[in-house]
Amino acid sequence: MKTRLIACLVVFALFSCEDLTEVNKNPNGIEATDVNPDLILPTVLTEGAKAYTNLGFGDIAGVMQHTQYDAWADSHNDYNWYDQSWSTYYGVLRNNKLVYDRGVELESKFHQGVALTMKSFMFGLITDLWGDAPYSAALNGETPGIENSQAKFDNQEDIYKGIIADLKTANQLLADFDAANPGYKNDVDVYFDGNALAWRKMANSLMLRYYLRISSKLPSDAKTGIDQIVSDPAQFPIITDPGDDAVMDYAGHNADDSWPSNSVYDASGSNFRRIKMCATFVDKLQSLNDPRLDLWAKKVEIPLFIDDTMLPGGDEIIDGVRHLAPDVVEDVIIDTDPDYVGIPPSFSALPSAYNMNPTPGQLSYNPHVSFLSDMYQEANGDLLKARLISAAEVHFILAEAALMDGDKDEAADRYNAAIAASLQTWGLADAYDDYIAQPAVEFDKTASLEKLQQLIIEQKWIASWTVATESWFDYRRTGFPDLATGISAKRDKMPLRFYYMQAEIRLNADNTSSAIDRLEVTGFSQADGKNSAWSKPWLIQGTGKPWN
């Protein structure tokens, strides 16, 4: 018995002295120091692009009144937001950090430059959406220490400055790489196929985006930065042609890599069926004879017609048109446009009932409002792209920057180039001359600076179809376009930011509390307290925008 006990103690001692991190290893795993960054890069690029599109084609398209849902609508239409999570964005950033770290270890300036560009893009999105956020101390969760497990929230101002600094570094790294490796190809780069010059253009175009973003709070920094980029195109190439746009094609092989509203992998078809054009957007496009409306939306299947000749109670479809006696639509809001009809924003708790829909409810199919065009049911297609930043956006940025400098001639040239780029993007380049000649579209240099800024931002809003997030950020900064909320909206004004999520408040209480304290309560924060979608982050505090 004694011998057996000694043997057991010896065995226990041998195994107890061995570090569990040595014993508990995945035989199929790989150390971070051995990872090929090309195996991680596609995940960073695809997940980042999808997350961005899911916002701009999703709930933010509801905020900016591009679209409305006719079911499951309270988040999209009415801003009933509760607990938006940034976990997807930080997940992309964690993978991206590994790409960067491996780029440093392998002395690959290409991977470092691409990773810094994507870091800037993702952190830019986070601070744009929430305000203050973990930045300098983020992505260190595997390193022991309370400062890593409960990361501090950096001020929004410092995050924007860090983003711009990283983009400058990215541009130089990619320039150095391109000089040493001309014609480099990388088939895992789903944006640019390893084209370092294209990545430089994206990095510098993003710099323009963020300089404009901070222009109301740090006007000197913004002006100096934009002027530096514009004055030295060799050092700071930017996206000026739609062929250089930062986009990602959807593969369409499964539900995860397909356009988000597709009905190919959604057996119910509800992802597509519940999305309708918003009346605000439709009315604006119709007033401008905008050719993009025909491409983005379908005409109503059965128009409505108020028929004074019908007997009371009359309701009949005649030759494809639904004829209604006047008493049938008494005190009912309807739209009798024979071509395109959008749902008004935040119309009601039952938006599927709009325009005399005979089948209101979750399974409705409303023949009296405009669906999106059929291409948005597809899994992929030539025009179904995640669009991260475009020539149209860059020209609009430079148009507004020129206007700030009082240079109306340059502003007009950039404005016209922006519209031309957007039309070209959607295969409608031939429509440019007629479109731009319209008085409501033409850049009238005799107009006031405010009127011209409104014109630029409204056209930028139109061009931001499927990337409405950028229009939301422009709206907060400028108050344009002047959009009114509907009767079912959670507040009488449009929201300004996302709520900090409850999990972060619970697990990182001190740092989240400090960030919330730095928000500015408005008259629309109401019962939310400071952590409200209607509280103002640093970026718009003191600007009087978009409303006081």
Residue 539 lies in a domain: no
Work out whether the CA dihedral 310, 314, 320, 321 comes out positive or negative: positive
- Tokens 């959604």 sit at which residue? 266
Q: Between residues 83 and 209, which one has the greater pLDDT?
A: 209
Instruction: Please answer whether residues 366 and 342 qualify as being in contact, where contact means their C-beta atoms are separated by less than 8 angstroms.
Output: no
Q: E strand or H helix at 69, and its extent?
A: strand 67-69
Q: Output the CA–CA distances (angstroms, integers) from residue 9 to 2, 14, 529, in the order listed.
A: 11, 9, 61
Q: What is the pLDDT of residue 77?
A: 97
Cβ count near 102 (within 10 Å)? 23
Indicate the range of 5-19, 47-61, 271-285, 453-467 predicted with least confidence. Answer: 5-19
Residue 344 lies in a domain: no
- Tokens 């956006």 sit at which residue? 393
Work out whether the CA dihedral 356, 358, 360, 364 comes out positive or negative: negative
SS3 content of the chain, % helix, strand, coil (to 5): 50, 5, 45
Residue 180 lies in a domain: yes
Q: Output the CA–CA distances (angstroms, integers) from residue 278 to 66, 282, 454, in the order listed.
A: 5, 6, 20
Residue 225 lies in a domain: yes
Cβ count near 234 (within 10 Å)? 6
Q: Output the CA–CA distances (angstroms, integers) from residue 73 to 55, 70, 275, 508, in the order listed.
A: 15, 6, 9, 31
Q: What is the pLDDT of residue 13?
A: 43
In angstroms, rounded to a whole number, what is the distance separating the alpha carbons of residues 410 and 400? Answer: 10
> Cα torsion for 156, 161, 164, 168, to the nearest 10°?
-160
Q: What is the pLDDT of residue 526?
A: 84
Q: What is the pLDDT of residue 17?
A: 46
CA-nearest of 335, 339, 258 to 50 is: 258
- List pLDDT tens digits, range 253-263: 999 999 999 99
Instruction: Please answer whether residues 235 and 227 qualify as being in contact, where contact means their C-beta atoms are separated by less than 8 angstroms.
Output: no
- List pLDDT tens digits, range 377-409: 999 999 999 999 999 999 999 999 999 999 999
- Is 109 a residue whose pLDDT tops 50? yes
CA-nearest of 453, 442, 440, 461 to 405 is: 453
Tokens of 109: 């300036």
Residue 311 lies in a domain: no
- Is 144 a residue whose pLDDT tops 80? no
Tell me the CB-side half-sphere exposure of residue 401, using CA atoms within 13 A: 27
Q: How many domains does the chain divide into?
A: 1
Q: What is the pLDDT of residue 548?
A: 84
Which CATH number does the domain housing residue 219 bear? 1.25.40.390
Residue 514 lies in a domain: no
Instruction: Return the SS3 of 262.
Output: coil
- pLDDT band of residue 83 (cuts 50, 70, 90) is confident
Indicate the range of 20-29, 32-41, 94-103, 312-321 predicted with least confidence. Answer: 20-29
Q: What is the pLDDT of residue 527?
A: 84
- List pLDDT tens digits, range 209-245: 999 999 999 999 999 999 999 999 999 999 999 999 9
Residue 230 lies in a domain: yes
Q: Which residue range is the domain that position 185 belongs to? A: 92-250
Average pLDDT over residues 346-350: 93
Instruction: Return the SS3 of 9.
Output: helix
322 forms beta bridges with 304, 317
Q: What is the pLDDT of residue 16?
A: 45
Residue 110 lies in a domain: yes
Tokens of 428: 């409608």
CA-nearest of 389, 390, 399 to 454 is: 399
Percent of the chain with pLDDT over 90: 89
Tally of residues, the chain: 548
